[in-house]
Copies of this chain bind each other. A is one copy, B any other.
Amino acid sequence: MAQPQQSEGVEATSARAASEKPSLRVGMVGYAFMGAAHSQGWRTAGRVFDLPSTPVMAAICGRDASAVRAAADRHGWESTETDWRALIARDDIDLVDICTPGDSHAEIALAALAAGKHVLCEKPLANTVEEAENMARAAEAAYERGQLAMVGFNYRRVPATALARSMVAAGRLGALRHVRVTYLQDWLVDPEFPLTWRLRRELAGSGSLGDLGAHIVDLAQYLAGEPLAGVSALTETFVRERPLPGGPSSGLSAVSAGGTGQVTVDDAALFTGRFTSGALASFEATRYATGRKNALRIELNGERGSLAFDLERLNELAYHDGTEAAAHAGFRRILVTEPEHPYLDAWWPPGHGLGYEHTFVHQARDLVHAIAEGRRPDPSFADGLQVQRVLAAVEESAEKNSLYTPIAA
């Protein structure tokens, strides 16, 4: 293992690259699961895509000094902070990327926008509609000042879902009749799994609803190209008491300490609904579907065709062209790895699939472009707020014996 010695005549390329393009200096708050995923996104986006500016992993922030330092080393952030207010106060930060639990989203995002930063905020946008309204309002005002605010519904950035959206937008489904969506996981099946922050209402806002339900509500509305008009819901907490966790956890894995505590969020949420066009929708979010690990499945049926997607097979999109002769029609499995497909011209040859983390690379790419072009990011905080309103209607309906509850506009 030699010591680096720059030999004469060898041009230092990194310096030169930096001089050509402006940089976009990112400060990230939070360093657990989402922090790791966002780090991959920021590190890779400029290496794969031609970006108008170069993301720089400037600073990472967390309360535990040694833990955040370790995260910085691991993920390659240039510096650390232990107070998000200090991070926001830094002049050398252009964009604040919020990867904390939902209870702190509003405060951090509002402060960052006030400080003139662009913001990327993990989903769900907030734990309450009121917070989300404040955030959307602040984002709109900031946009007038040239700042952008995006919410991290990364599943819009799977090439297959992006392709699906473009096919719906091109009219390939015709009048929409049905959208059915499930997001099935199984990490709470074991009643001895401990009470992580994701199971406590004061931190997580809600359970499967805010975590999984937020994703599928956003994805369903995004793919349908229209909002839900109302919902009818059932929620349930199957295991109401769980062991207290023994140490820090990222929510999906944890060790128990001793004693037990109350689960104060939903384990599962089922809801039906109507889109504004009259299409029907069915949703299920659960962490108790034994054997299903990340089964975000969505199917859309329209008068002219259907589409189906399963996150466990994220390089594929199923498409039925209802205008084909019946004798040769069928759901086709599009392997979404062609250069013609969204994001794919920058990646590998056909058939060489992508993975989960690539959604964060694409998210970073799309945000960098939006910032450079001054375009509203998609999804915006307003979109995040609208999802929040759907989730609130779900909770309201569940409390009112499943009564159909309109979504506030």
Task: Give residues in A with beta carbon < 8 Å to B.
Answer: 1-7, 10-14, 16-17, 22-25, 33, 37, 39-40, 43-44, 47, 53, 56, 58-59, 69, 72-81, 90-94, 163, 167, 173, 177-178, 180, 182, 184-187, 189, 191, 232-234, 236, 238, 252-253, 268, 270-274, 278, 280, 282, 284, 286, 288-295, 299, 301-306, 311-315, 317, 319-320, 322, 325-335, 337-341, 348-358, 397, 401-404
- Best-buried of A6, A184, A186, A330 by chain B (most CB within 10 Å): A330
Q: Are A78 and B270 in contact (CB under 8 A)?
A: no
Tell me, in angstroms, the Cα distance from A334 to B299 when the chains sit together: 18
Contact: B335 with A332, CB < 8 Å? no
- A333 to B330 CA separation, bound complex (whole angstroms): 5
Q: Is the CB of B178 within 8 A of A92?
A: no
Q: Of A3, A40, A182, A289, which is in contact with the most chain B CB atoms at under 10 Å from its CB?
A: A289
Beta-carbon contact of A306 and B289 below 8 Å: yes
Q: Which residues of B lie under 8 Å from residue A351 when comparing CB positions? A: 185, 292-295, 311-312
Question: Within 8 Å CB of A22, what residues of B?
Answer: 1
Contacts of A238 in B (CB 8 A): 177, 278
Q: Which 4 A-B pairs have the closest CB atoms?
A: A294-B351, A293-B351, A291-B320, A332-B332
Asked if A23 and B4 sit within 8 Å, CB to CB, the answer is: yes
This chain: copies in complex: 4
- The answer to whether A234 and B234 touch (CB under 8 A), given A92-B5, A305-B291, is no
Give Cα A59 to B208, complex, Å.
47
Bound-state Cα–Cα, A94 to B303, Å: 48
Residue of B nearest to A286 (CB): B178
Give chain B residues whose Cβ lies under 8 Å from the Cβ of A294: 337, 349-353
B234 touches A92 (CB 8 A): no
Can you offer 28 A-B residue contacts whose CB atoms are under 8 A? A2-B91, A4-B58, A10-B81, A13-B72, A14-B78, A16-B73, A43-B43, A177-B189, A232-B401, A234-B274, A253-B339, A268-B280, A270-B280, A290-B301, A291-B329, A291-B331, A293-B337, A293-B351, A312-B335, A319-B330, A325-B340, A326-B340, A327-B341, A330-B334, A330-B335, A331-B333, A397-B402, A401-B404
Instruction: Judge whether A1 and B23 touch: CB under 8 Å.
Output: yes
Cα–Cα, bound, A174→B248 (Å) = 31
Give which listed residue, B37, B44, B91, contacts A5 with CB less than 8 A.
B91
With a CB–CB cut-off of 8 A, which chain B residues contact A337? 293-294
By beta carbon, the residue of chain B nearest A3 is B92
Assembly CA distance A79 to B7 (angstroms): 9
Q: How many angstroms between the C-alpha atoms of A387 and B164 in the bound complex?
A: 38
| B304 touching A290, Cβ below 8 Å | yes
How far does the Cβ of A63 sit from chain B's closest Cβ, in whole Å? Answer: 16
Contacts of A353 in B (CB 8 A): 294, 312, 314, 355-356
Q: How far is the CA of A320 from the CA of B16 in the complex (A)?
A: 48
Pair B284/A180 contact, Cβ less than 8 Å: yes
Whether A270 pairs with B268 at a CB distance below 8 angstroms is: no
Alpha-carbon gap, A79 to B25, bound state (A) = 24
Q: Which residues of B contact A312 (CB under 8 A)?
A: 315, 335, 351, 353
Cα distance A349–B320 when bound, in Å? Answer: 19
Nearest Cβ on chain B to A309's Cβ, whole angstroms:
13
Q: Please indicate the chain B residues that have their CB under 8 angstroms from the CB of A311 in the complex.
A: 351
